[in-house]
């Protein structure tokens, strides 16, 4: 198998797996139990919290463990909207957010909140002027992702944080795709709330965290026990949280060198693809991007057909994002960048990871060129291809 979909998920690193095992097999107690056996699990959770906080540059008490990035995003948006209801009911997000944010905004609109969706430039970067202009007296929250999941384009979150804070508005950023791929700490992002997920950085599925800057107004979404400072009730996923901490530690070891390595491979991929295949565009190429992500649009063919064609040759890539496969609507991210419906439809995302080597790139380009050529022979749409 030739896996090039690391932005969808990553394998659990061996030392992460090793770290998790004792909390599945031996110390499997409930961290909230009053005896010493339960306390072993509690100690592990709190140690993991301290480790992650150390790497991210925050206080341990500023981290709320959740089950997924989606849940953390929901807590950020719904939690702030609810807590600040008396202050206002307006939320500002970018048009290219993950569905975890966009669909939550749709749900909040149904509860009579108002949401402004800020456009992006052709390069996929949030329009700062439009964002600044959208802030109102009743705006309570701005949420803009750190790096886009489909294009890898990095957003100017520090500037956005500044714009929001000057108006006294809470700022959330979904850093699920960037965490572990870029050097620097959460503190550098300037956000009040940051979402991070374990399985995007060689940790297990089922663990994520929301950083909540001390003093930020937020209400729980899940109610029940007093876990996670009362912000997220429910028994902690101890083994996954322990694995998450190990994965974060791993991510910060040599993040710069690994980033440079992946960026070189990604550039090689894009150079080879554009040399071997006509009528291709690299989305967001002029913007600052994550080192591992490439969004490629092929004229006159359908992205899902490319994905299946590659799958038949043992290569895993995705269309826009894994979550939207099966949706007839082409990517809202690419449409926001001004791509036509047909261009958006012909797009795949290739995302590299720790295991990716030069020969994987070369093989993928070869199969990709064959697949696109075959689909173009079948295609009823010619465009500028022939």
Partner 1 sequence: MGNGDDKSSREPATLPGPVLFYNDVVIDHFMNPRNVGELPDAETDGFGLVGDASCGDQMKLWIAVRDERIARIVFKSFGCPGAIATSSMLTALPVNRTVDEARRITDDHVIEGLGGIPEKKRHCSLLGVRALQAAIGDWQKRPASP
- Is 384 a residue that touches partner 1 (CB under 8 A)? no
- Is 308 a residue that touches partner 1 (CB under 8 A)? yes
The least distance separating partner 1 from the CB of residue 328, rounded to whole angstroms, comes to: 4
Count Cα atoms within 13 angstroms, Cβ side, for 290. Answer: 28
- Is 300 a residue that touches partner 1 (CB under 8 A)? yes
Q: Looking at beta carbons only, is 21 or 308 nearer to partner 1?
A: 308
- Is 325 a residue that touches partner 1 (CB under 8 A)? yes
The least distance separating partner 1 from the CB of residue 385, rounded to whole angstroms, comes to: 11
Residues 250-269 that bind partner 1 (CB under 8 A): none
- Is 305 a residue that touches partner 1 (CB under 8 A)? yes
The least distance separating partner 1 from the CB of residue 346, rounded to whole angstroms, comes to: 9
How far is residue 209's CA from residue 9's CA, in Å, rounded to a whole number? 16
Distances (CA, A) of 353 to 31, 144, 260: 34, 24, 12
Chain position carrying tokens 């992460």:
16
Helix (H) or strand (E) holding 244: helix 238-252
How far is residue 95's CA from residue 103's CA, in Å, rounded to a whole number? 11
Residue 230's φ and ψ, nearest 5 degrees, are: 80, 5
How far is residue 344's CA from residue 338's CA, in Å, rounded to a whole number? 9
Region binding partner 1 by CB under 8 A among candidate stretches 35-43, 52-60, 76-84, 323-331: 323-331
- Is 386 a residue that touches partner 1 (CB under 8 A)? no
Six token digits for residue 75: 């807590």
How far is residue 129's CA from residue 115's CA, in Å, rounded to a whole number? 17
Name the nearest CA neighbour of 317 among 272, 271, 279, 353: 353
Given 34, 215, 326, 384, the residue binding partner 1 (CB under 8 A): 326
How far is residue 163's CA from residue 198's CA, in Å, rounded to a whole number? 29
How far is residue 204's CA from residue 210's CA, in Å, rounded to a whole number? 16
Given 152, 309, 320, 353, the residue binding partner 1 (CB under 8 A): 309
- Is 322 a residue that touches partner 1 (CB under 8 A)? yes
Given 286, 341, 357, 366, the residue binding partner 1 (CB under 8 A): 341
Q: Are 242 and 43 in contact (CB under 8 A)?
A: no
- Is 336 a residue that touches partner 1 (CB under 8 A)? no
Given 148, 324, 356, 364, the residue binding partner 1 (CB under 8 A): 324
Q: Are 319 and 8 in contact (CB under 8 A)?
A: no
Q: Looking at beta carbons only, is 283 or 305 nearer to partner 1?
A: 305
- Is 381 a residue that touches partner 1 (CB under 8 A)? yes
Q: Looking at beta carbons only, is 159 or 304 nearer to partner 1?
A: 304
Q: Are strands 90-94 and 139-143 parallel, antiparallel or unpaired?
A: parallel
Q: Looking at beta carbons only, is 27 or 364 nearer to partner 1?
A: 364
How far is residue 370's CA from residue 270's CA, in Å, rounded to a whole number? 16
Given 31, 79, 291, 330, the residue binding partner 1 (CB under 8 A): 330
Q: Are strands 114-118 and 90-94 parallel, antiparallel or unpaired?
A: parallel
The least distance separating partner 1 from the CB of residue 1, rounded to whole angstroms, comes to: 5
The least distance separating partner 1 from the CB of residue 148, rounded to whole angstroms, comes to: 20
Neighbours of 51 (CB within 10 A): 17
Q: Does the active-site annotation cover 323?
A: yes
- Is 110 a residue that touches partner 1 (CB under 8 A)? no
Given 24, 106, 314, 386, the residue binding partner 1 (CB under 8 A): 314
Mark 344-363 with x for binding to partner 1 (rule: CB under 8 A) and - for no binding. Answer: -x------------------
- Is 301 a residue that touches partner 1 (CB under 8 A)? yes
Identify the three-state secondary structure at position 153: strand
- Is 373 a residue that touches partner 1 (CB under 8 A)? no
Chain position carrying tokens 């006509």:
278
Total residues in contact with partner 1, by rule CB under 8 A: 29
The least distance separating partner 1 from the CB of residue 330, rounded to whole angstroms, comes to: 7
DSSP-H helix ranges across 111-191: 128-134, 157-166
Region binding partner 1 by CB under 8 A among candidate stretches 19-27, 160-168, 196-204, 378-386: 378-386
Q: Are 297 and 283 in contact (CB under 8 A)?
A: yes
Name the site residues for partner 1 (rule: CB under 8 A). Answer: 1, 300-302, 304-305, 308-309, 311-312, 314, 316, 322-328, 330, 341-342, 345, 375, 377-381
Active centre residues (catalytic): 323
């Amino acid at each position: 198998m030739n896996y090039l979909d690391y932005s969808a998920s990553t394998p659990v690193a061996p030392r992460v797996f090793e770290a998790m095992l004792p909390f599945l097999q031996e110390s499997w107690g409930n961290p909230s139990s009053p005896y010493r056996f339960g306390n072993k699990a509690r100690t592990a959770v709190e140690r993991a919290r301290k480790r992650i906080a150390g790497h991210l540059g925050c206080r341990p008490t500023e981290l709320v463990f959740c089950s997924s990035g989606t849940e953390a995003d929901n807590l950020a948006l719904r939690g702030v909207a609810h807590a600040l209801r008396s202050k206002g009911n307006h939320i500002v997000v970018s048009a290219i957010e993950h569905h975890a944010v966009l669909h939550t905004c749709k749900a909040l609109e149904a509860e009579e909140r108002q949401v402004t969706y800020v456009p992006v430039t052709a390069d996929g970067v949030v329009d700062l002027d439009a964002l600044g202009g959208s802030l109102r007296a009743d705006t309570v929250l701005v949420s803009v992702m750190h790096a886009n999941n489909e294009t890898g384009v990095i957003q100017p979150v520090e500037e956005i944080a500044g714009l929001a804070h000057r108006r006294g508005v809470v700022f959330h950023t979904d850093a699920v795709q960037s965490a572990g791929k870029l050097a620097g700490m959460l503190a550098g992002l300037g956000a009040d709330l940051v979402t991070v997920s374990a399985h995007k950085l060689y940790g297990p599925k089922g663990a994520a965290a929301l950083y909540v800057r001390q003093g930020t107004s937020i209400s729980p979404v899940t109610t029940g026990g007093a876990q996670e400072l009362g912000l997220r009730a429910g028994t902690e996923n101890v083994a996954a949280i322990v694995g998450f901490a190990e994965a974060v530690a791993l991510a910060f070891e040599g993040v710069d060198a690994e980033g440079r390595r992946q960026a070189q491979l990604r550039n090689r991929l894009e150079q080879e693809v554009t040399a071997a295949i006509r009528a291709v565009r690299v989305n967001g190429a002029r913007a600052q991007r994550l080192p591992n992500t490439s969004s490629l649009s092929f004229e006159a063919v359908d992205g899902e057909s490319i994905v299946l064609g590659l799958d038949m040759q043992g290569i895993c890539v995705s269309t826009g994002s894994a979550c939207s496969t099966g949706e007839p609507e082409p990517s809202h991210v690419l449409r926001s960048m001004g791509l036509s419906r047909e261009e958006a439809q012909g797009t795949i995302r290739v995302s590299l990871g720790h295991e990716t080597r030069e020969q994987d790139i070369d093989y993928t380009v070869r199969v990709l060129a064959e697949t696109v050529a075959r689909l173009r022979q079948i295609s009823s749409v010619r465009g500028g291809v022939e």
